[in-house]
Amino acid sequence: MITDQQLAKLLSVRVQAPQTIASRWEARSRRPLVGDDNTMFLVAADHPARGALAVGSDPMAMANRVDLLQRLTTALTHPGVDGVLASAEILDDLLLLGYLENKLAIGTMNRGGLAGSVWELDDPMTGYTVAGVKRFGLDGAKMLLRIDDTDAGSLRTIEVCAEAVEELGANQLMAMVEPLPYENGGLDPDDEKQIRAVAIASGLGSTSAYTWLKLPATGDVERMMSATTLPALLLGGVPGPDPETAFDGWQRSLAVPHVHGLVIGRSLLYPADGNVAAAIDRAARIVHPAI
């Protein structure tokens, strides 16, 4: 729970002592990417930076930043949550509030492909740079790789993602790539196109040593994962009407050897019943049964 005093202090730091943010990043306690169980559970909150604020029927669900931070802090207090994926201002807020100690902090990179824009598939790196990830001591960076053979903007996105994978690998930092097939500007659910996207993402850069994939829990995760030997985390995607289907799918998918955990955002932070703590606890126990 974020108190009024905590919020006032955060706002004061941003106005009166912005240099505090860099010093807090430098002093942050770090942890390995995975523990003894070789799994990882991250909450995702990088949606607002590309204008994707909707959850279900509410087009502005993620627009209230304090409300979003409250939900994130509820998640991060759970011992089974290993960290968070977000844009810089959200990570800075969580850092100043004290919720990133011994947690993973993954920065999001390409946010310029604004949701619904005519240039959406040309998705430049307007978030974290590799230099920024390294300078502030983050644990890795994530990029969205949307591939649409009918949109020339996809080519530039492939190029900038390859460049980021190259730089992150050179700095021994996790490069989390989320490859998704698109058609005419919309997500294409075809399994074979998703497999093709996995193959393309696996081949980016001149080293794959630090590349992880962020992938949807498709109908046939085992077949999708047969296209690569890279480790993968499953994403939650747009919340559906039946959360039980999502939980069951994540549970089954974690049996595939390549799959090492979950990166879930809106499905858990904005559950249909409003109980964030319960949704987070259930997902955490899927990833880390021993907690």
Find where tokens 């209230």 sit.
Answer: 64
Domain 4-287: CATH superfamily is: Aldolase class I (3.20.20.70)
Bridge partners, 216 (sequence order): 235
Helices (H) and strands (E) in the chain, counts: 11, 9
Mean pLDDT confidence for 14-29: 98
Q: Which of 220, 212, 146 is nearest to 183 (CA)?
A: 146
Mean pLDDT lowest among 18-32, 195-209, 224-238, 275-289: 224-238
Residues in the chain: 291
Calculate the average pLDDT of the chain: 96
Residue 11 is predicted with a pLDDT of 97
Cα separation of 109 and 175, whole Å? 10
Contacts of 168 (CB under 8 A, 6+ apart): 130, 133, 140, 141, 174, 175, 210
Q: What is the pLDDT of residues 33-76, one digit of tens each?
A: 999 999 999 999 999 999 999 999 999 999 999 999 999 999 99
Q: Hey, where are the domains in the chain?
A: 4-287
What percentage of the chain exceeds 90 in pLDDT? 93
- What confidence tens digit (pLDDT) does each residue in 223-249 have? 999 999 999 999 986 676 778 889 999
Is the full-model pTM beyond 0.95?
yes
Question: How much is the pLDDT for 119?
Answer: 95
